[in-house]
Structure 1
Amino acid sequence: MSQHSGKAGGLIDPHAFDVFEFARSGRQAAGAVRVSQLPRMLNEVPVDAPDRDTLFTWQAEGSTQPELQDDGTEAAQPYLRLALHGAAWIECQRCLAPYEQAFDLEAAYRLVATEEEAEEFPLEEDELDVIVGSHQFDLIDLIEEELLLSLPLVPKHDVCPQVHESLVSGAAGEHASDPGDDDGEDCASGAAEEGGEAGKPNPFAVLEALKGGGEGGKKH
Structure 2
Amino acid sequence: MNRNQVLPQVELSADLSALRRVDFCAPQSYLGGGFLKIPDLPRLAQEASKVEAGDGFEWNAKTYFVDSPGSEPHQILQLGLKGRLHMICQRCLQDCPVDLSEERQFVMVATEALADAYPIEDDELEPIVASQHFDLLSLIEDEILLSLPLIPKHPEGACQAHASSFGDAKTGADALEKPENPFNILKNMKKSS
Shorter-chain TM-score range = 0.7 to 0.9
Q: Partner of 2:101 in structure 1?
A: 104
Report SS of the residue matched to 2:19.
coil
Q: Partner of 1:164 in structure 2?
A: 162
Cα separation, partners in 2 of 1:19 and 1:74, compared to 1, 3 Å: closer
1:20-169 equivalent positions in 2, closer than 5 A: 20-21=25-26, 24-46=27-49, 49=50, 51=52, 54-68=55-69, 73-158=70-155, 159-167=157-165, 169=167
TM-score normalised per structure 2: 0.74
Alpha-carbon offset, residue 169 of structure 1: 5.0
Residue segments in structure 2 that go unaligned for 5+ positions in a row: 1-7, 173-179
Aligned residues: 169
Residue segments in structure 1 that go unaligned for 5+ positions in a row: 1-6, 177-183, 197-220
Q: Write the letter of the residue equivalent to 2:135.
A: D
Alpha-carbon offset, residue 11 of structure 1: 4.8
Q: Write the letter of the residue equivalent to 1:102.
A: D
> 1:60, 1:83 within 8 Å by CA — same for their partners in 2?
yes
Alpha-carbon offset, residue 111 of structure 1: 0.9
Alpha-carbon offset, residue 114 of structure 1: 2.1
- String of CA shifts for 1:88-107, please: whole Å, max 9, x gaps: 00111111111111111100
- More helix by percentage: 1
Cα separation, partners in 2 of 1:76 and 1:161, compared to 1, 3 Å: same
Report SS of the residue matched to 1:118.
helix
Cα separation, partners in 2 of 1:38 and 1:52, compared to 1, 3 Å: farther
Report SS of the residue matched to 2:29.
coil
Cα separation, partners in 2 of 1:10 and 1:128, compared to 1, 3 Å: closer
Cα separation, partners in 2 of 1:126 and 1:54, compared to 1, 3 Å: same
Cα separation, partners in 2 of 1:92 and 1:8, compared to 1, 3 Å: same
Cα separation, partners in 2 of 1:76 and 1:138, compared to 1, 3 Å: same
> 1:94, 1:160 within 8 Å by CA — same for their partners in 2?
no
Report SS of the residue matched to 1:130.
strand
Alpha-carbon offset, residue 74 of structure 1: 4.0
Cα separation, partners in 2 of 1:41 and 1:50, compared to 1, 3 Å: closer
> 1:20, 1:133 within 8 Å by CA — same for their partners in 2?
yes
Is 1:9 aligned to residue 7 of structure 2? no
> 1:45, 1:52 within 8 Å by CA — same for their partners in 2?
no
- String of CA shifts for 1:48-94, please: whole Å, max 9, x gaps: x36288221111001111112xxxx3421111110011110011111
Report SS of the residue matched to 1:119.
helix
Higher CA-based Rg: 1
> 2:10, 2:29 within 8 Å by CA — same for their partners in 1?
no
Report SS of the residue matched to 1:124.
coil
